[in-house]
Structure 1
């Protein structure tokens, strides 16, 4: 069962200057991470805001530190080793047997993450537009399936420019939510114990580890292949650090915005739309488009990652598998409510990702002690 990776032409960026290359690398990371969970606010609500100050700042800083390490490590190792198969990154950190386990487990998780994207699109259509969730879910699956059908040429250039824009808008919405009700942050903190909010874990610390864990399983093969296109280790590390830092700061700001309006957003499927609708119905319509764009930019590489694991990009069997997976993902994604999908898929897989994080730290520490060069 061959594993395929995109070539330089497929994942490489065409930007000329170093800064634009760094920005495009960072943008690709952000676009891959935002997805339905971040864009809708549901992910931030469960992993950050629901724990109050400790969740927003404690989880936020933990994610900032660990995510920066993880992204730089994947990028730099990918640039140095230039694995023919990006899934070899798991064998590099975990050895033959555990590496094989993570290789196959990550593919299952990536596919389930695609089903979460379908569920998120359905929730937007149902909660904001008052339309059937099946229309939103099927529509997203068709758009993503068609995109992957034609291959992912210049993937980074396409999604790398959409991602930062979405994050900037999300940050702006979070800041506006804070400024419109600054006293709401302390009020929300006091009200949290009496609210029955869905949480990712029993503590903010474990939620932070789980959050980094599931992001790692998403990013491993993608960043390893992307790092292969970097011109130097320095460029790989800088692009990775920029993307990880920007995403983590965005999580903290959006988390505060949701905390300031916790009574309104608690228990909703799409918290970000609640914030936007409170400002203006017109703005809410615009934000709904932003959320769908965020879901799309994550769903495309997720589906491509699974299909390309079995067949070469753009071959007939790759295309047929893509359509079959898109159809199966649609069925699964529309069975459970979006908030439950996030809580089940992300949290369970996040803890498996924590094991990968531990093994990565051990490998990095051993490499530094022995002063091994990549």
Structure 2
């Protein structure tokens, strides 16, 4: 075969896309984002449902647009640049000094988010099973620590398969909540002004920006590393698109389901379990397992992200640091109440994430301008 033929064959191989790989990437994204906050319903309640129609649809569509951009951008840049360290993505968008700030700030935030997952597991065991929160929190930390011990490849294989199933179950529960009380959506929207709901921000628009902001700080290093494993730009972009759309639609549907039963779920730690228990205790038992699976699939990449910032996951130091971080996160997560951690940790970091979003948009805009100019 001629040199030209070899080059053409190589390019064609690189551009091939695999449907199973795309679905695995999408599943990993969904699994990462459906953590304790989403799976329990606490996150959706604070960021979407508490603002009524504007929160569910306004915030939902804003998240759909921005999350799609963010996920594809991280994925595609990770595939194209193949950074030696995933954290280099911050320097790519923000420059040396701001990039260093975001690098270290995101690591602190991701670690605290892991602690939120521990708190969520503890809340499920305490509120649903009637057991000590220490059983749930410590149990989660042990299982997650052992999973991360084996590195990124096994991590993606595990959570990429679980993610779509959790999304389907969460959407089904949201639909069930709507179907069981369709008139409750309008009633719930009317009741909101008289309820003392914990909200992520003063209005739905800032809530949406904050939501995307904290998700970005979660996703940046993980998707950059994941994008590096994609065989083509198309494969990376398609996986990112599917994952972000499925997640955003799930947010809207679950938000409506909670709004239809707002009087019941207001003030609870695990709103999704309230919806399930109203249907059947057996369903609630199954949903509790789904919630724990959702917490697990987010806690794993969060812990991996922090450990991989300091060591390659093939190095012995990575394994020992993982165990130390799992232990430290467990202590933090079991001291502060779950709903309070969601509101404080996610919201504060969401506003910092908005700055990163603006810098990303500037970088993307300048890249497009240069491409057209030359």
TM-score (norm 1): 0.94
In structure 1, the partner of 2:348 is: 348
Q: Structure 1 residue 207 and structure 2 residue 210: aligned?
A: no
In structure 2, the partner of 1:54 is: 54
In structure 1, the partner of 2:266 is: 266
Q: Distance in 1 between matches of 2:75 and 2:203?
A: 30
Q: Structure 1 residue 63 and structure 2 residue 67: aligned?
A: no
Query: How far does residue 317 in structure 1 lie from its aligned partner after superposition?
Result: 2.2
Structure 1 unmatched runs, 5+? 1-15
Structure 1 vs Structure 2 CA RMSD: 1.4
Q: Residues 56-89 of structure 1: CA distance to partner in whole angstroms, max 9, x if unpaired?
A: 0000000000000000111111111111111111
Q: Structure 1 residue 335 and structure 2 residue 340: aligned?
A: no
Between structure 1 and structure 2, the one with the greater Rg is: 2
Query: How far does residue 139 in structure 1 lie from its aligned partner after superposition?
Result: 0.8
In structure 2, the partner of 1:113 is: 113
Q: Distance in 1 between matches of 2:129 and 2:372?
A: 56
8 Å Cα contact 2:147-2:155 kept in structure 1: no
In structure 2, the partner of 1:248 is: 248
Query: How far does residue 314 in structure 1 lie from its aligned partner after superposition?
Result: 4.4
In structure 1, the partner of 2:145 is: 145
How many correspondences in the alignment? 359
Structure 2 unmatched runs, 5+? 1-15
Query: How far does residue 286 in structure 1 lie from its aligned partner after superposition?
Result: 0.5
Greater mean deviation of Cα atoms: 304-313 or 158-167: 304-313
Q: 1:77 to 1:151 in 2, by over 3 A?
A: closer
Q: Distance in 2 between matches of 1:298 and 1:312?
A: 20
In structure 1, the partner of 2:290 is: 290
8 Å Cα contact 2:17-2:232 kept in structure 1: no
Q: Distance in 2 between matches of 1:97 and 1:17?
A: 37
8 Å Cα contact 1:63-1:209 kept in structure 2: yes
In structure 1, the partner of 2:175 is: 175
Residues 1-374 of structure 1 aligned to structure 2 (within 5 Å): 18-371=18-371
8 Å Cα contact 1:149-1:314 kept in structure 2: no
8 Å Cα contact 1:125-1:132 kept in structure 2: yes
8 Å Cα contact 1:167-1:247 kept in structure 2: yes
Q: 1:215 to 1:253 in 2, by over 3 A?
A: same
8 Å Cα contact 1:32-1:301 kept in structure 2: yes
Query: How far does residue 17 in structure 1 lie from its aligned partner after superposition?
Result: 6.6
Q: Distance in 2 between matches of 1:372 and 1:272?
A: 48
For residue 321 of structure 1, give the secondary structure of its aligned residue in structure 2. helix
Query: How far does residue 151 in structure 1 lie from its aligned partner after superposition?
Result: 2.9
TM-score (norm 2): 0.94
8 Å Cα contact 1:177-1:257 kept in structure 2: yes
